[in-house]
Amino acid sequence: MLHDKLTLRDKKKEATAAALAETAFELALEHGLDGFIVDDVVKKAGYSRRTFANYFSCKEEAVAAGAVTVKNEEEYTALLFASLPPDTTPLDMLYRLMTMQLTKDFLLKLRRFVSLAKGYPTLEPYSLSILHRLQMAAQQLLAEFAGERYPAEYTHLLAGAVYGAFVPVLDGSMNVLLPGEEPGDQTDAITFEQYLNSTFAYLRNGF
């Protein structure tokens, strides 16, 4: 069975972690990492410091989690699988996942975090953890979807290749416009959709 449903307790725990993470991320964007403490996070989010400690070891970890928070994740995953034809390949499934997951708001949050991390060295280790978290979540979905039709190393390789390709988009080393961004005088910029499609074209057809 794909993606077992969460219990009510699981949902409550996820909601608590998400609220704390989103608050930490918002405070970091507003005041910088040095402009607030954990007590500010729990006060604004409406929880205790002890509750914070149940989910995060430090404010940096919470800020990083806030950059990848997905609301209604269970419904989101159910929608993904419900619309896939039986003959869908793992690559096609991953493409659908990416187009659903990497929305304008989600990509903007990730880019803001990467920009924030450049100014605060203590956040830098969490940049890799964010990408790893996204990659592992995608790999798990791929493995559940593929079952025994494909070897485990294939789904690992596929998820790693795709998510690795988006590092230069987030850190700005590739001139890729996020959805809704205007090119301005960037004549060599390509859209995110173009970059996504070219990445999957390479995976389908070779380099």
Burial 131-149 (b: 16+ CB within 10 A, else e): bebbbebbbebbbebbeee
- Per residue in 8-49, pLDDT tens? 887 888 889 999 999 999 999 999 999 999 999 999 999 999
Domain 1-66 has CATH 1.10.1060: no
Domain boundary assignment for the chain: 1-66, 67-207
- Per residue in 88-136, pLDDT tens? 888 888 888 888 888 888 888 888 998 899 899 999 888 878 888 888 8
Nearest 5°: the CA angle 3, 5, 8 is 150
Q: Identify the bridge partners of residue 67 per DSSP, sorted by sequence position.
A: none
Class of domain 67-207: mainly alpha
CA 102 to chain centre: 8
116-to-44, 143, 173, 176 alpha-carbon distances in Å? 21, 33, 16, 19
pLDDT at 70: 64
Question: Which of 40-49, 56-65, 66-75, 140-149 has the weakest average pLDDT?
Answer: 66-75
Looking at every residue in the chain, the average pLDDT score rounds to 85
